[in-house]
């Protein structure tokens, strides 16, 4: 089951990031397509499956945030990524939106690095 959960999780990560790029680009262009049901509901469905697959992986490998420092760091980075991604799509100015978009990608990079190495960057072991 581990490999099935892992592949589902990785697929949802890729879809989530692709949707962020698409929505950010559409927001910059002022596209009315952002108001379609697919682009309003789809990202929430993908992110829900992403979180559920993360929980399934966590339970499968018996490692948990606030117990294992690498998962704690990944969880904190996830919260920062989500907050900045929301601000990238809803910020007051284009400059703020760009800064938040780039910041969200930085936190995404940290999550990928920590996921691959299973070693925290900022939190002590």
Reported as a single tens digit per residue, the pLDDT across 43-94 is: 999 999 999 999 999 999 999 999 999 999 999 999 999 999 999 999 999 9
Structural domain tally of the chain?
2
For residue 24, give its domain range. Answer: 1-62
In this structure, are 40 and 58 located in the same domain? yes
Segment 94-106 shows an average pLDDT of 98
In this structure, are 35 and 91 located in the same domain? no
Of 83, 89, 90, 76, which Cα lies nearest the Cα of 121?
76
In this structure, are 17 and 37 located in the same domain? yes
State residue 123's pLDDT score. Answer: 82
The answer to whether 46 and 15 have CB atoms below 8 angstroms apart is yes
In this structure, are 81 and 24 located in the same domain? no
Tokens of 85: 């991604």
């Amino acid at each position: 089951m581990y490999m099935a959960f892992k592949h589902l999780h990785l697929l949802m990560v890729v879809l989530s990031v692709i949707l962020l790029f698409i929505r950010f680009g559409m927001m910059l262009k002022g596209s009315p397509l952002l108001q379609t049901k697919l682009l309003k509901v789809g990202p929430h469905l993908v992110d829900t499956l992403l979180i559920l697959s993360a929980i399934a992986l966590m339970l499968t490998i018996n490692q948990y945030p606030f117990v294992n420092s690498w998962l704690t760091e990944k969880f904190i980075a996830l919260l920062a990524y989500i907050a900045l991604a929301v601000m990238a799509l809803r910020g007051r100015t284009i400059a703020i939106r760009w800064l938040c978009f780039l910041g969200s990608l930085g936190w995404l990079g940290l999550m990928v690095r920590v996921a691959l190495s299973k070693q925290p960057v900022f939190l002590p072991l």
